[in-house]
Chains A and B, each alone.
Chain A
Amino acid sequence: MDILTQLVINGIIAGAIYTLIALGFNLIYGATKFFNIAHGVFAAIGGYTVFFFFKLSGVSLVPSILAGVLLAGIAGMLSDRLIFLPLRRKRGSSVIMLVASLGLFTALQSVIAIMFSNRFQTLTDIFNIQKTYQIFSGVITQIHIVIIITVISLTIGLFLMLNRTKFGKAVKAISDDEEVARIIGIDTDRVIGYVFFIGSAIAGLGGILIGFDTGIMPTMGMGLLLKGVIASIVGGVGNIYGSVCGGLLLGFVENFGVWKISGEWKDAIAFGLLIIFLLFRPQGVLGK
């Protein structure tokens, strides 16, 4: 096994996971212009839904995953209906929205902990004895391949949705200028509701995939969110393609950064990258 090849593979895997979180985060940020901290908890909701159905209740894999994605999406959409939409109507500032989302994050995370305990859980054992594949001189596991393929398909899917559908045009119009979008007849509240559904469902899928890769904990959302936010800022906040760019860059920098030093430095390196970007290129690689 050649270390360099393996680092590239690890960088791509980490990058794919960060991209997964950043995609939905950026989609929602684009439409609403606030940092939705609660975004992380929808990953946990996805993971725990699969845990409940698949591991505890013996429902088969595919329906469990569908339920997880759907529930995360619905929870996201409800969070908009019940909290963020009323705040938008009252013209709440983005700081107020951020604080509200932090509150929602904490509340939902506690509910998950109450229902399923704070313990680390695995979703399945089937991937423990999973197949690994040789790529050049590195190895990659089956679940990692699934993650990478999922991220590529989702990115292409989102690209097509934003550029080839009228719904996508409405989303773009809203992220450019919500007030004007409204007076030309776009039902902005509804479109933003769907954006929350899509973004949160993607986060849910992210939580599920991570659950199958390593495992789940009620507190998993915050770490994921922070990495997703760093990926967004590094790539360009509100920019869907920036998510991929930022996610991959973060994944690579983190993994190459710990080439010669202990892996515990990963988070420090990630925040170092964030600070460098905030200081020298706050608009991110791709800009708005």
Chain B
Amino acid sequence: MKIEIRNLTKRFDGVTAVNNLSLTLEGGRITGIVGPNGSGKTTLVNLLSGFLPIDGGTVIIDDTITVKKIQPHKIKSYGITRTFQDIRLFEQMSVLDNILVVLTERNLWCALFECHRPEHMQKAEEVLRMIDLWDKRDEPASNLSYGQRKLLEIGRAVSMEARVYLFDEPFAGLFPGMAEIVESILRQLRSQGCAVVLIEHDMDLIRGLTDYVFVLDSGVLLAEGRPHEVLQDRKVVEAYIGN
């Protein structure tokens, strides 16, 4: 699994949020993306998941598919999934349905009747137990605490069985116990060969978890490399202190 980003650009009136950015996301790696607030991290995820149209540049998936335009309904078939910095769940649904809705088969027969096959239920149970929400499965998603909502969104992404995971600040605001769950999920995805992207401000987490780091500043790639080396880079330190 590999995603190559070449000269990616995104402008909002006045701001170039992502500026001629080139980087590669590899399978079997947790790739850290760091940078001060407003440096374009979320915009990058929005571009890769089709939430925002790309203004310039290309994305190459697995050396074979070259796209200049990523359409949101194709995201699933590319094997890409994501979470949101501001959690987005299906609020009207139960916790269990938030997971089951992504495991659905969408042929006509199955659309008309509830036919979650046993393996769907099994998968949903496995995911909900992993994020410690199995006991809350019948509660509406809107009843959960902030941390539980964050975990449920991560659980929903994991249920997609994607190959590229874009996690936008998954640790923000989590208590240590929950953060451990997220850590183990990221490691597990990496061991399965997935390309895992982690946007994170906590440099200890970046050092401990990631294999490779890209540093953004004002939409431009400031530095890249192994976390220990990159995070000592003077430019990087200055970009952070400067803000």
Query: Which residues of the partner chain B approach A189 to less than 8 Å between Cβ atoms?
Result: 73
Query: Which residues of the partner chain B approach A181 to less than 8 Å between Cβ atoms?
Result: 90
Query: Which residues of the partner chain B approach A177 to less than 8 Å between Cβ atoms?
Result: 88-90
- Distance (Å) between the CB of A168 and the closest chain B CB? 9
| Structural contact, B75 and A176, CB atoms closer than 8 A | no
Query: Which residues of the partner chain B approach A167 to less than 8 Å between Cβ atoms?
Result: 111-112
| Structural contact, A166 and B114, CB atoms closer than 8 A | yes
Q: How far is the CA of A280 from the CA of B73 in the complex (A)?
A: 40
Query: Which residues of the partner chain A approach B113 to less than 8 Å between Cβ atoms?
Result: 165-166
Query: Which residues of the partner chain B approach A58 to less than 8 Å between Cβ atoms?
Result: none
- Distance (Å) between the CB of B67 and the closest chain A CB? 15
Query: Which residues of the partner chain A approach B88 to less than 8 Å between Cβ atoms?
Result: 177, 179-180
| Structural contact, B90 and A173, CB atoms closer than 8 A | yes
- Distance (Å) between the CB of A86 and the closest chain B CB? 15
- Segment at the interface with A among B101-109, B173-181, B183-191, B208-216: B101-109
Query: Which residues of the partner chain A approach B112 to less than 8 Å between Cβ atoms?
Result: 165-167
| With known contacts A176-B90, A176-B91, A183-B82, A169–B73 Cβ distance under 8 A | no
| Structural contact, B97 and A182, CB atoms closer than 8 A | no
Give the contacts of B93-127 with A (CB-CB under 8 A): 93, 97, 100-102, 104, 106, 110-115
**Quick one: which of B82, B93, B100, B114 contacts A176, CB cutoff 8 A?**
B93
| Structural contact, A164 and B90, CB atoms closer than 8 A | no
- Distance (Å) between the CB of B155 and the closest chain A CB? 12
Query: Which residues of the partner chain A approach B97 to less than 8 Å between Cβ atoms?
Result: 169
Binary interface encoding of chain A residues 184-207 relative to chain B, with 1 for a CB under 8 A from any of its CBs, else 0: 111111000000000000000000
Q: How far is the CA of A166 from the CA of B93 in the complex (A)?
A: 12
A151: CB under 8 A from chain B?
Answer: no
B92: CB under 8 A from chain A?
Answer: yes
Q: How far is the CA of A172 from the CA of B90 in the complex (A)?
A: 8
Q: B105's closest neighbor in chain A, by CB?
A: A166
Query: Which residues of the partner chain A approach B100 to less than 8 Å between Cβ atoms?
Result: 169
| Structural contact, A179 and B90, CB atoms closer than 8 A | no
Q: How far is the CA of A185 from the CA of B91 in the complex (A)?
A: 18
| With known contacts A164-B114, A167-B112, A185-B76, A180–B106 Cβ distance under 8 A | no
Q: B112's closest neighbor in chain A, by CB?
A: A165
Residues of B within 8 A of A (CB): 49-51, 72-73, 75-76, 81-82, 84, 88-93, 97, 100-102, 104, 106, 110-115, 156, 160
Q: Which 7 A-B pairs have the closest CB atoms?
A: A185-B76, A176-B90, A167-B111, A182-B72, A184-B102, A183-B75, A166-B111
A-B contact pairs, 17 of them (CB 8 A): A165-B112, A165-B113, A165-B114, A166-B112, A169-B93, A169-B97, A170-B106, A172-B92, A176-B90, A181-B90, A182-B72, A183-B50, A183-B51, A183-B73, A183-B75, A185-B76, A186-B101
